[in-house]
Structure 1
């Protein structure tokens, strides 16, 4: 398998996909979420803390650069610049799939650069769900990783010409990884979403962090279909649950089972990030949008864009009267359109979110 060629294809096709999406100005499920404006609830900017806790680790901001790439000369340079951006802005960063390194140690430097350029940052290694504990330990050691991301990508594999066709061992493998490693294990989809039922299953397997990674961002069904000789498997282009739908679906069970939710997939703006946090995510990940900026405008532009995101997230929290990330889960949300219908079909009351901030009114007896 030519990993380098495939990794380069993924970057090229992902950037092209995001450029087309930005030009089309398509509506997103995030656009079906509106905050109820309460005119006198604003707080002071100096009082707002962006710090968030993920499995006992404190992140200075509730954003992270999510899994993208590695395994070729070109993608190694992309990782180097992403690592610098993470270092300069304080964001956690996840590696792309490290299967290429496990197959050929000669490409180790294309991943190791994430730690070399970001020695004090929060770095997350990445393997697929077929990885053994020994493989996982190998990638964690290479990056000095603070956590391991295990990606589940059955839809991508099915469309991928050279992809896997047997996913039956995944639950057993994930349980072994969660049990054997001494660092947090994050299970992540690659853009097709994780349902409440899957959150429950993962909790039973010993996983305590789930990145829902819903549809709306980089679409790997389309990317892999473009790599097929006959371009003949586009029927899965619309497969999956959106990121907001995943958060709404999984929020209750996540709280009940002590699972931390992370949100990625289709996050386009700081407002989308705040919407994700308000739906219960502890932090929000961005891949395609940041990659598009990096490839189109360069490293300095990416750093400036991330700094702007951080500033605007803080200012949106000021407007909403949220002094911290957790407080956003008490803000009032209006859910509309297909997202509200998805809630109803899954047994979730959309109206609950419209009145979350209301406190019970004390009733005093008449004397």
Structure 2
């Protein structure tokens, strides 16, 4: 069998039916890009991140030069506590977006996740639109991405295609339900995921695509050996809306907004679950810092950066990511945090719908407002020998 790396446009030309299928899927990828970008037009919308407020302590600030932005997750060391999350690939247009993302990741050292690589597995002539992520970013931290229904062989091929440092496996039942071409064999997903986790050599990061990972889901993931999960909640690109806009008649519009926002997932997460990453509606470095304060090891952004990529290309992305690094460092310094993990000891107040969610889920968020107190349990707990 030929690998994706060996495929060529000529092979597709010799199979007209295959070429037609490839063109149809590429058109779907372009639709996703166009419809997702449309959701991010205009000023950033308010979302659940705005319901997280830091208590300001006027004498807690430290010198920014003392702040180290690096973080570790999935056994990997990242230079920044945020990453470019999965977006696109599979067509000429999306390949150019991936090129810009890869160049920006290379120039700033920010980790980068591929868009779903299923099209490259099924239509190898599109593999170059993903391979560019590595060719333009040869030494960067890069995550491959496949759907949960894929096989271990598919997972390994995706990893090899981009020489990935980790593998994102996305779960997207809501999107598949609304997608005109969606597949809904959901009962097989947990077994498929367990086989992928056991069958690949790189760390596996399980992520939603914008509908959130609940406490129960995180507990199930931990039970099958998943060590890292991106809660990927609502508030950013809504793939129920994207897919409904592609449906004749748009008859599932009422599913827009389904799910939980990332901040809700973070405060609801089990203490003994996977290491958490967070994404969904991340618009600014302040949202990054909010996510870190709620326990995420790192925070992903997609929609806000897609808009920059389409408007300003690689140069615009480099400038934006450099600004995010500078602003994140400044915010850590303002909050007296020498490292991202120190943000989990800052005082935060939970407002609005997020506070209501916590209340009905039986979560007492009042303790979050007193974490810097010397009397807080997290600050008085004695060291316990292993």
**Fold similarity call, TM over 0.5:** yes
Which of 229, 232, 239 matches 2:251?
A: 232
Aligned counterparts of 1:267 and 1:145: Cα–Cα separation in 2: 24
Aligned counterparts of 2:338 and 2:199: Cα–Cα separation in 1: 37
1:260-275 matches, cutoff 5 A: 260-275=275-290
RMSD: 1.2
Aligned counterparts of 1:211 and 1:141: Cα–Cα separation in 2: 22
Q: Does 1:321 align with 2:343?
A: no
Partner of 1:185: 204
- TM-score (norm. length: structure 1): 0.95
Q: Is the 8 A contact 2:75 2:203 kept in 1?
A: no
Q: Does 1:256 align with 2:256?
A: no
Q: CA deviation at 1:297?
A: 2.4
Aligned counterparts of 1:270 and 1:33: Cα–Cα separation in 2: 14
Partner of 2:144: 125
Q: CA deviation at 1:234?
A: 0.5
Partner of 1:341: 356
SS in 1 for 2:40: helix
Partner of 1:354: 369
Q: Does 1:51 align with 2:67?
A: no
Can you list the C-alpha shifts for 1:88-145, whole angstroms capped at 9, x where unaligned?
1111111100110111111110000000000000110010011111110011011100
- Number of residues paired by the alignment? 355
SS in 1 for 2:169: strand
Aligned counterparts of 2:160 and 2:290: Cα–Cα separation in 1: 35
SS in 2 for 1:106: helix
Q: CA deviation at 1:57?
A: 1.1
Partner of 1:212: 231
Can you list the C-alpha shifts for 1:264-321, whole angstroms capped at 9, x where unaligned?
1000111011000100011110111101011122221111111111100100000000
Q: Which runs of 4+ in 1 moved over 2 A?
A: none
Which of 300, 303, 307 matches 1:285?
A: 300
Can you list the C-alpha shifts for 1:138-188, whole angstroms capped at 9, x where unaligned?
110111000000000000000001101221010001111111111100000
Q: CA deviation at 1:245?
A: 0.5
Segments of 5+ residues of structure 1 without an aligned counterpart are: 363-367
Aligned counterparts of 1:322 and 1:26: Cα–Cα separation in 2: 28
Aligned counterparts of 2:28 and 2:225: Cα–Cα separation in 1: 32
Aligned counterparts of 1:243 and 1:351: Cα–Cα separation in 2: 19
Q: Does 1:115 align with 2:134?
A: yes
1:140-155 matches, cutoff 5 A: 140-155=159-174
Aligned counterparts of 2:46 and 2:315: Cα–Cα separation in 1: 29
Segments of 5+ residues of structure 2 without an aligned counterpart are: 1-20, 380-386
